[in-house]
Structure 1
Amino acid sequence: MHRIFNRLSLKIAHKLPILFVLIAMISVISVGAFSINNTSETIVQQKQQTLTALAEARSTSLNQYLVSIREDIVITAASRNVQDALPQFANGFRDEAQRHNDPLQSLQGIYINEKATTATSSHGNKEALGQKHLFDGPTLLDGLYHSQHQRFHPWFRQMLTERGYYDIFLVDPEGNVVYTVFKELDYATNLLDGKYNQTGLSQAFKAALSNKKVGSISYIDFAPYAPSNDAPASFISTPVVSQSGFEGVLIFQMPIDRINQVLQVSAGMGETGETYLVGSDYFMRSDSRFSQESTILKNKVETTTTKKALNGETGIEITMDYRNIPVLSAYRPFEFQNIRWALIAEIDEQEMLAPVKEARLFILMIGAIVLGVVALLGWLFARSIVHPLQKSTSEMLELADGNQSVEITGLDRKDEIGNIASALQTFKENAIQQTQAASENLRIKSALD
């Protein structure tokens, strides 16, 4: 650099500021590059840790909720109301068969009472579709079933409302759906040889029927369910065993809304983050929080992280999501009753890197400010050196031209400029003495002559 500056035809007034700026530039670029890289890594690591923690928190919350359902169905099956209700409904169902020969037609005609899909009755349910559970039963009809329905239905309805279940079923040992709260078209059908004997509800009944041990649980994963207009439905079942023996099966149709509430908590997820479940068929088992319509069994998520989670792996990485958008994806397996799902927590890479871009811009702005300040300080410093030097040079030229009256500045300085001024003052004094000596010699010589 020394040789380069010597070759440049620049004055010191220009060389010094340039030197300061170059040194500052090298320092700022080096420190800035390190800071940007270090800040970027720190922010990404923080995002990874946060997303991983959120995925774990959602997994824990979901597990606690599903375990509470499992505990609830076991406790409910052992309750006095259920152990009384199921045999009473079963007896009422048989009584209805004796009265009307076809209990499916008579019961659906009274408790559903929709001309387009069922038989109808003048004493039947007048509530609209979706509100059939508000009907306690006919008051003007005789029959064991109706009296028991009026007795037990308010309790089951309150339970469904408070717990958020989609529906609650009681099925007798012969497979007859002797009671449901919501009264869809599966009501009063037979799950062994009836219209819906291949559905998830039937599978839940058959699973409980094959294991009549008190407290045993069977879970059937989401699948389209015809009586619910092919909406996704999953079921959990347990046998009902009283002192008299096996009474039948209690089944809950799982609450999709409650599961979504657990997974769709937006706290900590930013604007683009979401958490969802994916089944072994790669279709969603929960709704995306960004979709107005249900995405369960509709959106296929056959991504790298989903496959890893379904294989039992846990981790986090940048990948393409089901929208073909790059995301930071935290993944982990989630298991409930021998069913494995992939639990995925994701946030768009663009949002994740936004703080990195902001930090990079901030560091660049600080670097530019530092360079500007250094350039100004370099110019001021060069001026503080060059201006006295220029003054000393002018005074030196005056002395060289014989002007012994020139005033020497900078004598009060304690630095090298002061040394130069002292030297010039010495030259001036010596020059004056020489001039005086020459004049004296000339005077003496003139006197002798």
Structure 2
Amino acid sequence: MENIKEYSRQEPTWGMFNFIAESIRNKLLVALMALSLIPLIILGIFMYNRSSGVLMEKMFGNLNAVENIKADTIRNHFENRRYDMNVLVQTVETLRNNAFEKLAAMHQLKKKLIESYFTERMNDVSVLSAIPITAEAMIAFQEAEGPVGGDTWKDAERIHGPFLTKFSESYGYYDVFLVSADGRIVYTVAQESDLGQNLMSDELRNGPAGQAFEKGLKSLTFQDFGEYGPTSGAPAAFISSPIIVNEVTAGVIMVQVSVDQINAIMQERTGMGTTGGTYLVGPDKLFRSDSVHVRESTVMNPAFVVDTAGVTEALAGNTGQGVVIDYRGEYVLSSWTPVNIHGVTYAMLAEIDVTEAFVPGGGGDEKDFFTKYKEGYGYYDLCLINPDGYLFYSVERGKDYQTNILSGPYKDSNLGRLAASVLETKAFGMADFEKYLPNDNSPAAFFAQPVVREGKVELIVAAKLSLNQINAIMQDHTGLGDSGETYLIGPDKLWRSDSRFLKELRVESTVLNPGTTVDTAASRSALAGEKGTQVVTDYRGRKVLSSWSPLVLTKPDATNPQGVRWALVADIEYEEVHRPVVNMAWFSAGTIIVAAILVVIVSLFLTRGLTTQVNHIMDLFGEIGRGKFEARTPVTSQDELGTLAFSLNAMLDNTLSLIRSSDK
């Protein structure tokens, strides 16, 4: 038999992949894994990128929708508050008109009563001076011999005194005088110290009685109040008329007007509340009736000069109404008109404190109208301001209550500037949040609207906005997950609503807090009037998805060039948005690993059946190569390799038989 040549195995170099080249099994295993895992990996990467993009797009859309909803809600909130102000101003105007109508009706009624009272008194004296009994009394007292109070005088007093006394009592006079033509007081009903004195004396001539006498010598006359010496300077007014006997003036009949009867008319306060009242003022701007607000008498009292706008107008003959400062220094609704008493002009005024006029309330402990309104609509405070700046009403009655907001200590506050602006524009205005000193420097924003009548501001209604209502809108994080929030930023880069993460920021409030300034790309863009949606860094330095827009609450005008513009920002952390995608990536990776393990197991099972038969055949060739021609390979598979092994064994059997036959 020929020598069998030996051949060296020459194989390609696979380097680090030699383990694959060394085995069909390894090649099959790697091929199967590649065919199964590579598509999975490609699909996973595609799905990751696709899902990430879709999720980001969806979240941006959701964030933009939330931002739009919040912007609309805030705008509607402020529009509703502005509508509330319109209703409130109309209500105040109605209250004002009703109050002035009542005052006007009251002063007209009192004017008629006073004029009727004096007309009747003038008629009484005119009749009294003309009847014979009066002339008889005058002659009797003049002819009485001896001093006043002597026997002859007493005889005349017993005859004529009862009539004059009854006349005085019946018509409510303080006193009735009979004065001789030379000025001597021959009789008085009251019989005070003036009885027997001469009204032409230096002491009495220039007093009200002396003046009444001199004028009464000529005609029926009314002498205005003046200090009357015989009654210790007490005020006295007189009506006088000449007593004519045989066409000769025998003397003068004089009556002293009773202040009590004037007070009975003027101090009737039905329908005028607790602070309302009417009173008379003379040409010297002193009272002619007693004030209901002062215990001591105010008639002709120099301590109570009434030099008000209403008095000046009425004494000039004008009728009018307005909000003025009264003789007490209090702000009142005043209605005035002149009253002419037989040539003497008085000013009649009907007044009520502005607070009672504009702030109707129930009896007892019931809350007033503005307190109920403030609580019902969620305002922090409601204020009423006079055109001169006096803040005469406040629900909360803070430090600004009863101060002048235009010239007082708070004139430079946002409310002070707003009031000045509203007075100038005569229109609605808003003051942005600022620290408000009267409320311990807490943040405050205000609405204000004037009550305008005939082109003149008569009252300003101001409302302090509630931060709680703004926070209730902005801190609702529905649709924003665990890390999302919406917030408002002003042009000063300070908050206009509280952050949702106060504990994390370690502050009680972020509103106007200089320690929580917000200067981000989103806030800057919104304050510049731009709208956008983008991944940015927020005020905490965190990567967020952000949607923003400008929020214009009031437009710029001449007195407020910048208007009120805020930035509305909606954020959600990028990590929270991206978390589902990351979770999906980890799930995909786990799926690929499990798939790889399954592929390996299946591949090992498949290649085992393939390589076992091949290995047996290879072992057979090895045995034959060493000269063992009797060797045979086991047939372990039913496939083509099994058939090959069977055929190879048959071929070896035939070949060995031929060799053996040839040797024989």
- TM-score band (shorter)? 0.7 to 0.9
In structure 1, runs of 5+ residues without a counterpart are 104-141, 443-449
Equivalent residue, structure 2, for 1:317:
534
1:361-400 superposed matches below 5 A: 361-393=586-618
Query: What is the CA-CA distance between 1:283 and the residue it aligns to?
Result: 1.0
Equivalent residue, structure 2, for 1:438:
661
Q: Is the 8 A contact 2:380 2:464 kept in 1?
A: yes
Equivalent residue, structure 1, for 2:414:
200
Paired residue secondary structure (1:382): helix
Residues 261-309 of structure 1 deviation map (CA, whole Å, 9 limit, x = unaligned): 1111021222222111111111111111222512111131111211111
Identity %: 26
1:158-307 superposed matches below 5 A: 158-212=372-426, 216-241=427-452, 246-291=457-502, 293-298=508-513, 299-307=516-524
Query: Mean alpha-carbon deviation: is it higher for 295-304 or for 202-211?
Result: 202-211
Q: Is the 8 A contact 2:381 2:464 kept in 1?
A: yes
Paired residue secondary structure (2:368): helix
Q: Which amino acid aligns with 1:176?
A: Y
* Whole-Å separation in 2 of the counterparts to 1:330 and 1:371: 43
- Please identify the structure whose Cα radius of gyration is greater: 2
TM-score using structure 2 length: 0.53
Residues 105-135 of structure 1 deviation map (CA, whole Å, 9 limit, x = unaligned): xxxxxxxxxxxxxxxxxxxxxxxxxxxxxxx
Paired residue secondary structure (2:445): strand
- The 1:43–1:86 alpha-carbon spacing in structure 2 relative to 1, beyond 3 Å, is farther
Q: Is the 8 A contact 2:613 2:635 kept in 1?
A: no
Query: What is the CA-CA distance between 1:220 and the residue it aligns to?
Result: 1.2
Q: Is the 8 A contact 2:620 2:632 kept in 1?
A: no
Q: Is the 8 A contact 1:316 1:331 kept in 2?
A: yes
More strand by share: 2
Residues 46-68 of structure 1 deviation map (CA, whole Å, 9 limit, x = unaligned): 32222222111111111111111
* Whole-Å separation in 2 of the counterparts to 1:376 and 1:144: 99
Query: What is the CA-CA distance between 1:24 and the residue it aligns to?
Result: 4.4
Paired residue secondary structure (1:329): strand
Equivalent residue, structure 2, for 1:445:
none
* Whole-Å separation in 2 of the counterparts to 1:280 and 1:371: 59
Q: Which amino acid aligns with 1:390?
A: N
Residues 298-334 of structure 1 deviation map (CA, whole Å, 9 limit, x = unaligned): 1311112111111111112233322233332221111
- The 1:159–1:387 alpha-carbon spacing in structure 2 relative to 1, beyond 3 Å, is same
Query: What is the CA-CA distance between 1:408 and the residue it aligns to?
Result: 4.2
Q: Which amino acid aligns with 2:467?
A: I
Query: Mean alpha-carbon deviation: is it higher for 29-38 or for 334-343?
Result: 29-38
Q: Is the 8 A contact 2:323 2:458 kept in 1?
A: no
Aligned mate of 1:151, from 361, 385, 405: 361
* Whole-Å separation in 2 of the counterparts to 1:278 and 1:406: 88
Query: What is the CA-CA distance between 1:419 and the residue it aligns to?
Result: 4.2
* Whole-Å separation in 1 of the counterparts to 2:443 and 2:530: 27
Correspondence 1:71 to 2:89: no
Equivalent residue, structure 2, for 1:4:
14
- The 1:23–1:406 alpha-carbon spacing in structure 2 relative to 1, beyond 3 Å, is closer
- The 1:60–1:431 alpha-carbon spacing in structure 2 relative to 1, beyond 3 Å, is same
Query: What is the CA-CA distance between 1:409 and the residue it aligns to?
Result: 4.9
* Whole-Å separation in 1 of the counterparts to 2:35 and 2:480: 44
* Whole-Å separation in 1 of the counterparts to 2:68 and 2:434: 26
Paired residue secondary structure (1:261): helix
- The 1:205–1:430 alpha-carbon spacing in structure 2 relative to 1, beyond 3 Å, is same
Q: Is the 8 A contact 1:59 1:334 kept in 2?
A: yes
Q: Is the 8 A contact 1:83 1:241 kept in 2?
A: no
Tell me the C-alpha RMSD between the 2 structures.
3.5
Aligned mate of 2:525, from 308, 330, 333: 308
- The 1:278–1:406 alpha-carbon spacing in structure 2 relative to 1, beyond 3 Å, is closer
Q: Is the 8 A contact 1:408 1:424 kept in 2?
A: no
Query: Mean alpha-carbon deviation: is it higher for 69-78 or for 151-160?
Result: 151-160
- The 1:83–1:190 alpha-carbon spacing in structure 2 relative to 1, beyond 3 Å, is farther
Query: What is the CA-CA distance between 1:356 and the residue it aligns to?
Result: 3.0
* Whole-Å separation in 2 of the counterparts to 1:274 and 1:394: 75
* Whole-Å separation in 1 of the counterparts to 2:83 and 2:323: 33
Paired residue secondary structure (2:361): helix
Correspondence 1:427 to 2:642: no
Q: Which amino acid aligns with 2:94?
A: Q
Query: What is the CA-CA distance between 1:387 and the residue it aligns to?
Result: 1.9
* Whole-Å separation in 2 of the counterparts to 1:325 and 1:318: 10
TM-score using structure 1 length: 0.76
Q: Is the 8 A contact 2:523 2:567 kept in 1?
A: yes
Higher relative contact order at CA 8 Å, sep ≥6: structure 1 or structure 2?
Answer: 1
Query: Mean alpha-carbon deviation: is it higher for 44-53 or for 165-174?
Result: 44-53
Aligned pair count reads: 394
Q: Which amino acid aligns with 1:247?
A: E
Paired residue secondary structure (1:191): coil
Q: Is the 8 A contact 2:495 2:517 kept in 1?
A: yes
Q: Is the 8 A contact 2:616 2:634 kept in 1?
A: no
